[in-house]
Amino acid sequence: MKQHISLTLVLFTVLTFSQNKELLNPNFSEYEFDPQEKIEHSRKLDQDKVYQKLQQEKSVNLKTNATILLDSTVGFSYNSPIDSIRSFKTIYRYDKNDNTTERMGYQWDTTKNTWIERNKREITYDDKNNLTSDLNYNWNSSITDWEISSKNEYKYDANENLIYESLLFWDTNLNKWIIGFKQDNNYNEDNNLISKEWSDWDDTKNDWALSSKDEFEYDSNQNQILGTFYNWNSSTNNWSIEQKTEYNYDQNNNLIEELQYNWELTYWDPNSKTEYSYAGTDNLILKTAYIYSNTTGAWKYRSKNEFDFNQNGKIILLAFYTWEDHLNDWRKDYKTTVSYDANNNNNRSVQYVQVKDSGSNSWINSSKSTYLYDNNYNEITSNYSWNTTIQDFELTGKIFYYYEEDNSLNTEGISLPKLAFYPNPTTDYIHINVADSFSEMNIKLFDMAGRKVYNHDIHNSKTIDLTEVKPGQYVYKIIIDNKVYQGKLIKR
């Protein structure tokens, strides 16, 4: 039984200027299967805790702990507020463990006035839900069929650490796989990644040829404190050291300094430095990047990011600046501000992006995105660009997100016991009365981002204390002997 329930997706397009360039793509499925989730350190080195928060606001977890799964996305482009054109559509399929097994992409053919196939991904997993293969296809209109283009394969150790990844390309002329590269990973007894080794396929030798290597070291808190990069020297048949990065942390294990050096035959030459400052225990408020000047023997400003959060820890500001030597001052580059609804949710939120005015060092409007939900929780993301002629935002596109209920909680054809659930809305407590006898009962609450915020097994008392749950709108699931009630709860 399908139900249009939306999860929160915030597309921080401003980050396209920074590390997360993939956020340019409104169809976030392009990176949802990124194996770097497994390749990177078992305890990830979060160089920017704020980016982790932004990812949490933006991302939809389609694999783990999800009870509401993305069914499809549909995008429209606008020439005017009343003139829209279909643009793209993506459909998702899942296995019984909620792993995404297929993503089918379509584009709108304005000539034929219909959807046409564009690309497809087929994904497989092992019995522990680890990604094992990812096949990519493109639609060949000449033969009206899918044509495979590439394949990634993955292997894991007994602790589910990714130890091997390979990339292969399909040669349509030779009708065979062409080997691209492989990556071998090694871990210590704490399951921290201690080395990554890349190899390229050598057709002349019909064997793997070493290419490059990263090595990592950690402190007693499992923080990465050193990363060293090597290239393989085929002349000496040995590793040639190239670069190292040192990391320092505060007492809360927040990264506060990152120092990068280049190896110059006999000594380490300072290259770049990044400093991080926090408010409270983990909210990053300032990131400052420096470059080393061999002329002055000192660090010089290069760029900085400023961040701000509301009292609930949600990001409300991200600003980026570049240092101008001739002005001896910071130049504004871009800024994103985000607002939320009264319940601090992303629904009915607005995100503004501003850039520097070419004639002055002041902010001017660039774009805007709004995130709205209808009464059935369908999500609508609207994107706007600033029109300097009319001095106002102009609608450029919309994306609709449709979600389906978790198949494991599908209640079609099941006779449910008679149940009373009250009061709704509530301020502190809810009461559950069941007419029939039962052996097991459980209630779960999910916020509008699909996150589980409450999970309680019900035994004797059927009065549920919700005083610790924040005010807002929630989806509830009451499970009685594997039978499910589901609906909306409002906490005031």
pLDDT in tens, 276-297: 999 887 889 999 999 999 999 9
pLDDT of residue 13: 31
pLDDT of residue 376: 52
The reply to whether 384 and 438 lie within a common domain is no
Which of 18-32, 395-409, 430-444 has the least mean pLDDT?
A: 18-32
Q: Which structural domain, as residue segments, surrounds residue 430?
A: 414-491
Q: Are 77 and 83 in contact (CB under 8 A)?
A: no
The reply to whether 68 and 156 lie within a common domain is yes
> Is pLDDT of 39 > 50?
no
Q: Could you give the C-alpha distances from 389 to 82, 385, 386, 393, 470, in angstroms and in order?
A: 19, 12, 9, 10, 44
pLDDT of residue 179: 93
pLDDT of residue 378: 59
Which of 210-214, 233-237, 245-249, 464-468 has the least mean pLDDT?
A: 464-468
Residue for token pair 């300097």? 388
Q: Are 9 and 348 in contact (CB under 8 A)?
A: no
The reply to whether 317 and 432 lie within a common domain is no
pLDDT of residue 409: 34
As a whole-number percent, the residues of the chain with pLDDT over 90 amount to 48
Confidence tier at 343 by pLDDT (50, 70, 90) = low
Please give the Cα distance from 417 to 439 (Å, whole number).
12
336-340: average pLDDT = 86
Which DSSP letter does residue 16 get? G
From 407, 441, 469, the end of a domain falls on 407
> Is pLDDT of 65 > 70?
no
Please give the Cα distance from 1 to 483 (Å, whole number).
14
In a domain, 451, yes or no: yes
Please give the Cα distance from 11 to 403 (Å, whole number).
18
In a domain, 197, yes or no: yes
pLDDT of residue 461: 59
- Residue 384 carries which side chain, given as an amino acid letter? Y
Please give the Cα distance from 315 to 308 (Å, whole number).
6
pLDDT of residue 449: 64
The per-residue b/e assignment along 422-453, b for 16 or more CB within 10 angstroms, e otherwise, is eeeebeeebebebeeeeeebebbbbbbbbeeb
The reply to whether 182 and 253 lie within a common domain is yes
Closest CA to 304 of 318, 319, 288: 288
Residue 350 φ/ψ, nearest 5 degrees: -130, 135
In a domain, 375, yes or no: yes
12-19: average pLDDT = 29
Which of 38-42, 415-419, 444-448, 478-482 has the least mean pLDDT?
A: 38-42
166-193: average pLDDT = 94
pLDDT in tens, 389-409: 999 999 999 998 877 643 333
